[in-house]
Amino acid sequence: MRLGRAEEAVDEARGGAGALGALALGEALLAAGDLAEARALLLEATAPQLLRLRAEVLSTAGEPEQALGLATRALAALTEPLERAEAEATLAACLHRAAAWPAALHHWEAARVGLIAELGPDHPDVAAILDGLGLTMRRLGRYRESLELHQAALPLHQRAFGAWHPGVAGNLHAQAQTLRRLGDFEEARDALAEAWQVSVRVQGEHHPDTLTTAFELGRLEVDCGQVEEGFGRMGAAYEALRVRLGPQHPTVVAMEGWL
């Protein structure tokens, strides 16, 4: 799964036994964007690592408030340093999605310190934390700091996995959103077009991340004067994501407001 082959990882993880088997399958399902099966798998989970993963699934599914409680419980129960750092990152992501950005910033920083201590500064998991921290910085209006964090994370993703990986796509997407807020619309559009191409290749055109990127690319095309092409892309992505995630998912609702 680290190589970006989520569907293969799902197949390999099926049949795994116990909490470790559930953890491997749940992580693979989350990466593949299969939130419904991941949610069902973890519904009765009680082990701290499974609670952490369940929090990630619920947060991604648009239920950050319920996810916050699970992430907090997981962090309180975990004692091993690496597991605690991972739980800090999960809690940070849940807080970010709940719009509690100052609190999220605190936990991203704790996750970064913990992961660097355990894995070293060049590990791809550290890159993911830098991207998470950059997302929260952007929400706080700290655009230059946000862009610098994403730019620092990109070579870590690329050295670990190459140019074609979900982490690279997510990073380029994040850079594009920050560039947009800095007023660099054409550079943002080009970065997002690259992110979309990577996501299509490694995750498939119907993955939620790919569809979200397509929608945002359409918005930037409109900003750059490609109005017909942009709105067409936005509409197609919205309809597909509405089917995939349901009409009440926050991302789908937000998209509807732009159309």
pLDDT per residue over 15-59, tens digit each?
Answer: 554 667 777 777 877 777 788 887 888 888 789 998 998 999 999
CA nearest to 90, candidates 37, 43, 30: 30
- Count of beta carbons in the 10 Å neighbourhood of residue 216: 24
| Amino acid symbol at 241 | L
**Which one has a higher pLDDT value, 167 or 11?**
167
- Token pair for residue 160? 């670990």
- Say what the pLDDT of residue 26 is: 72
- Say what the pLDDT of residue 6 is: 57
| Angle between helical axes of 208-223 and 185-203 (0-180°, round to 10) | 160
Q: Is residue 3 predicted with pLDDT exceeding 70?
A: no
Question: How far is residue 190's CA from residue 26's CA, in Å, rounded to a whole number?
Answer: 33
Please report how many Cα atoms fall inside a 13 Å half-sphere around the Cα of residue 110, on the Cβ side. 19
Kindly report which listed range (138-142, 143-147, 250-254) carries the lowest average pLDDT score.
Answer: 250-254
Question: How far is residue 32's CA from residue 9's CA, in Å, rounded to a whole number?
Answer: 9
The residue-averaged pLDDT of 4-24 equals 60
Q: Is residue 5 predicted with pLDDT exceeding 60?
A: no
- Count of beta carbons in the 10 Å neighbourhood of residue 38: 26
pLDDT digits (tens, 9 = 90+) for 190-233: 999 999 999 999 989 999 999 999 999 999 999 999 999 999 99
Distances (CA, A) of 54 to 38, 44, 69, 181, 185: 8, 10, 11, 32, 37
Just give the CATH number of 151-259: 1.25.40.10
Q: Average model confidence (pLDDT) for the chain?
A: 90
The residue-averaged pLDDT of 168-185 equals 96
